[in-house]
Amino acid sequence: MTHRSSSERRWIHSLGIAAALLSAARPAAAQPAGPSPTAAAPDGAAPPPGGAAPPAPVAQATARPPPANSAVSPAAAATAEAESALALRIGGGAIVWYYQPFLSGYKPNMQLAFIALRIKATYGRFGVYVHPRIRDTKAAPFFEGTVWIEEAYAWADLVTGETPLTLKIGKIYNQLGLFWDNSFYGNIQMFDGLKLAPEHGLSLEGRFGAEDKAGVRYTAQFFPVDGRTNLSSQDRDTVSIPGARRRYQAIVRGEPFVQLDGATSLKAGVSAEYLQADLPSGPKDVLRGALDTTLTIGKWGLWGEFLYQRGQTVTDFPYAGKPATDTAPAVPGRASAHNYYVLAGTEYTYGRVTARYNFSYGRYADQAVSEWIHEPAVGVALAENLGILTELVLWERSAPEGHSFVDRSLAISLNGRFSHLVTGKE
């Protein structure tokens, strides 16, 4: 097997992670100093500086009431109320990265990864979110072009208060297991299409209990067809196979949580998924299940996940097929229908510096192949909206043929971003 057909391509795939770092799902004390991929939720952006409105002039405060015929008309009042209910936030960012390999035959590279734009418009209980991305080359061979929509959906808050419930319709990240591990380079799960995967369909998201105390968050999603723009590597997910699609994905997730005090929180997650991999050889039924947990104590965070897949989603991994030659017949690829995944990590933030270690593992049992990535990293917050993250990547593979390195490199990413509330209140 060719472990890496192009070092640049693998890094291009992982660049999408860094853009998601614009707003994080963890408490602020546990945030990485570098990019963090949870910006799929645009609500986390901080409001712009500013205080309360200045007091009215004395002349206005002491003036007599206006005559009755000068009262504001109902139409004007409704217009003013509608304008105050509209909120518009625009954000975005850009990523510059440097890749330094430590394997023979691999070449160093540096480039602008992509530019991202985020638009969030809210009107009362309704809203729209659009997140396009652009680069000068394709992010992956199976992408349609150099510009794509990462996420785009409309939502409606069906219930508010202590038990909120939101319905989203459009292109939405799936919620199987842990959303992310705060890395930039990525993990085995992402390269296999299990993380940062936006799909087309519906998502119903809610919570029982108070956010600052204890309760259960839950998600139910249905995606008739995949989103075609996840960050998987070629041949490692259904979306990169010509003519193949993931269909009828149904995901349910429950996440009990408890806020022990202002700086300590614990949450656990249980997820289940069914999908149909529509492969050239015919449809395959696939079941996935995941257990995860996250503990945050002040500026220290710890997380872990176990995920199991039963069912075939690819045709040429972990062994790629070989075309026929003048002297040998074609050799079909070999896939695994029983896969096991582990994801674990920890980080600690001191001032502007965050130290982090991530580990990811994939076992393709039917072919007796395993891969794993050790990924220590240090991030530094250079400014409020600018961070740099340095990661050491040790990606190894064990197979019946022996042990080898898939990648061994240093990755440095510079992430700049902005977010501005144009009008209204959030």
**Residue 209 or residue 44, greater confidence:** 209
DSSP readout, 251-283? EEEEEEEEEEETTEEEEEEEEEEEEEEEETTEE
Per DSSP bridges, beta strands 126-134 and 338-350 are: unpaired
Give the C-alpha separation, 240 to 178, whole Å. 23
Is pLDDT above 50 for 113? yes
DSSP 331: B
Note the pLDDT of residue 386.
Answer: 98
Rg of the Cα atoms in the chain: 24
Note the pLDDT of residue 73.
Answer: 59
pLDDT digit string, tens, across residues 366-383: 999 999 999 999 999 999
Note the pLDDT of residue 371.
Answer: 98
% of the chain beyond a pLDDT of 70: 80
DSSP readout, 63-88? SPPPPGGGSPPHHHHHHHHHHHHEEE
Note the pLDDT of residue 88.
Answer: 97
Average pLDDT score over the chain: 85
Average pLDDT over residues 279-307: 97
Note the pLDDT of residue 262.
Answer: 82
Give the C-alpha separation, 187 to 176, whole Å. 15
Question: Which H helix or E strand runs over 89?
Answer: strand 86-101
Tokens coding 425? 């209140």
Give the C-alpha separation, 84 to 47, whole Å. 16
Q: How confident is the model at residue 426 (pLDDT cuts 50, 70, 90)?
A: confident
% of the chain beyond a pLDDT of 90: 75
DSSP 187: -
pLDDT digit string, tens, across residues 184-210: 999 999 999 999 999 999 999 999 999
Give the C-alpha separation, 313 to 311, whole Å. 7
∠290-293-295 over CA atoms, to 5°? 165
Is pLDDT above 50 for 61? no
Sorted by sequence, the CB contacts under 8 Å of residue 118 that are 6+ apart come out as: 22, 39, 42, 89, 90, 91, 92, 129, 130, 131, 419
164, HSE (Cβ side, Cα atoms, 13 Å): 12
Note the pLDDT of residue 54.
Answer: 30
Is pLDDT above 80 for 292? yes
Determine the length of the chain.
Answer: 426
